[in-house]
Amino acid sequence: MDPEVLKERMHTADVMKNIDFLTFVGLFLVALTAFCWWLYNKRYPRRCILLTGLSDSGKTLIYVRLAYTQYRQTFTSMCENTEEYLTPALPHSMLLVDLPGQERLRNKFFDQYKNKAKGIVFVVDSVTIQKEIRDAAEYLYTILADPIVQLYNPPLLILCNKQDQPLAKGSQVIKGLLEKEINLVRVTKSNQLKSVDPAETNTAVFLGKQGKDFQFSHLNCKVDVAECSANTGNERDYADLKMLKEWIDCL
């Protein structure tokens, strides 16, 4: 055989071996990544129910009513409260997490639990919502636009608390108020990005549909609205959490 031909064939064989090796390495890395992801999700499953919202919306009392089925005096939370939650409708327990509502604390604790969220409950004070609508809308916008929330799209429940109060707004009214205000927040955020760095506008998350007023139905995640009353009296007061419990059972 011609030495040049033999040399060329040996070179071709070496190239094929290198290609096979690189292919093997690539497949191995893909399999290793998939295994690590599976192991992480098995050890740290997304089974948290996050209770969040502005301060004094009643999150902690709702948490206590759910976790301990009783009334307890509550105070403004400075850190998260956690408790296992299990009902006959759930195949396994959920970790109920009550997040602080104070502006300087809430983002820190939300970041800590957001990647484990099976569902997010945004609690609203149905009595004071009109006065707090801007703050509520900005916080809810921040949650919905979060990259982790965008990635996993956990179900969201807007829970309109304190429905036992005479001046409480109904859930559909509150939904409309939030949609209208988030629409304004969206415009403000977009203008802020343009003024700082126009290039970021193309990569920033846009909530809803371009060219249309914001509606929760335009989001990729499932958004429900419900009413409840945790009450602020004593343990003999009736707490109406039926719609919340039914929503959790469907997660």
Whole-structure pTM value: 0.78
| 84-121 pLDDT, tens digit each | 998 888 778 899 999 998 888 899 999 999 999 999 99
Per residue in 213-237, is it b (16+ CB within 10 Å) or e — as a string? Answer: ebbbeebeeebbbbbbbbbeeeeee
Give residues with Cβ within 8 angstroms of 27, minimum separation 6: none
Question: Is the pLDDT higher at 71 or at 117?
Answer: 117
Residue 242: burial class (beta carbons within 10 Å; 0-12, 13-18, 19+) = exposed
CA separation for the pair 204, 202 (Å, rounded): 6
Q: For residue 206, give both structure tokens.
A: 């846009």
Among the listed residues 71, 43, 66, the one whose alpha carbon sits nearest the alpha carbon of residue 157: 66
Residue 202 has pLDDT above 60, yes or no: no
Question: Is the pLDDT higher at 125 or at 203?
Answer: 125
Q: What is the dihedral of CA 122, 126, 132, 138, to 10 degrees?
A: 20
| Residue 160 near residue 244, CB atoms below 8 Å | no
Percent of the chain topping pLDDT 90: 59
CB atoms within 10 A of CB 85: 19
Give the 3-state secondary structure of residue 179: helix
pLDDT the model gives residue 6: 53
pLDDT the model gives residue 44: 47
pLDDT the model gives residue 55: 93
What backbone torsions phi and psi does residue 84 show, to the nearest 5 degrees? -70, 140
Strands (E), 128-173: 156-161
Residue type, 233: G
| 136-189 pLDDT, tens digit each | 999 999 999 999 999 999 999 999 999 999 999 999 999 999 999 999 999 998
Residue 38 has pLDDT above 80, yes or no: no
Strands (E), the chain: 48-53, 81-85, 94-98, 117-125, 156-161, 223-227
